Amino acid sequence: MATRSSCYARQLLLPCFITGVFALPLLGQAQAPDSQATGALPRRNLWGTAGFGVGTGGVGWIFGGWYGANNLVIGYRHAYAAPVFGGSPLHDRALLLGVRKRGRSSHALIAGGPARLGGSQSETTTDSPNEIGGALSAEVGFITPLFGFGFDIFASRSRSMSLVGATVSVQVGWFGNPP
């Protein structure tokens, strides 16, 4: 019989493992010494995201911040979902690690990591204490060097709670010049 702590460990390790597996192919990529790209500056970006849309049982919104170094990203996300007709709202706070693809006027990312979920999914119970779980986040943005808009999908799961949603977002920060 598994102990409670080993169940939590599995819930945290799965998103971290999945994110790490997606990032492994990027570690082997290197420029050849005779390449013209040798000496190119790394692309570092910093931006914030705020979005509104649908979430578990009703409306949802997210706020987040991202830092990107070339194709790797690290971010923090706060997601919230409130039922339209009764029920308790759900929320999460997540620290995410993932990969990103940057184009001339767009970018896409996928990231996962540990999350802290709160709220309750039952109308008859009071809010349960916060629980540790795992989170995933995906974002597609159409960007200029300083501004963008995009679409976000988020999900998180703990032992007794799950939160899923999709939003349209505004992104503000430094996206840099096109590659």
pTM of the model: 0.72
Residue 16 maps to a domain: yes
77 located within any domain: yes
User: Would you say residue 108 lies in a domain?
Assistant: yes
- Do the domain assignments include residue 152? yes
Q: What is the residue-averaged pLDDT of the chain?
A: 80
Q: How many structural domains does the chain have?
A: 1
Closest of 55, 159, 148 to residue 109, by C-alpha: 148
Q: Does the residue 37 lie in any domain?
A: no
Per-residue pLDDT of the chain (179 residues; tens, 9 = 90+): 445 545 544 555 555 555 555 555 554 554 445 445 545 556 789 999 999 999 988 899 999 999 999 899 999 999 999 988 877 889 999 999 999 998 889 999 999 999 999 986 555 555 567 899 999 999 999 999 899 999 999 999 998 889 999 999 999 999 877 76
Q: Domain holding 15: CATH number? A: 2.40.160.20
- 86 neighbors 100 (Cβ within 8 angstroms): no
Residue range of the domain that includes 18: 4-23+43-174
Nearest to 139 by CA among 95, 80, 75: 75
Residue 46 contacts residue 173 (beta carbons within 8 Å): yes
State the burial class of residue 140 (Cβ atoms within 10 Å of its Cβ: 0-12, 13-18, 19+): middle
Q: Does residue 30 lie in a domain region?
A: no
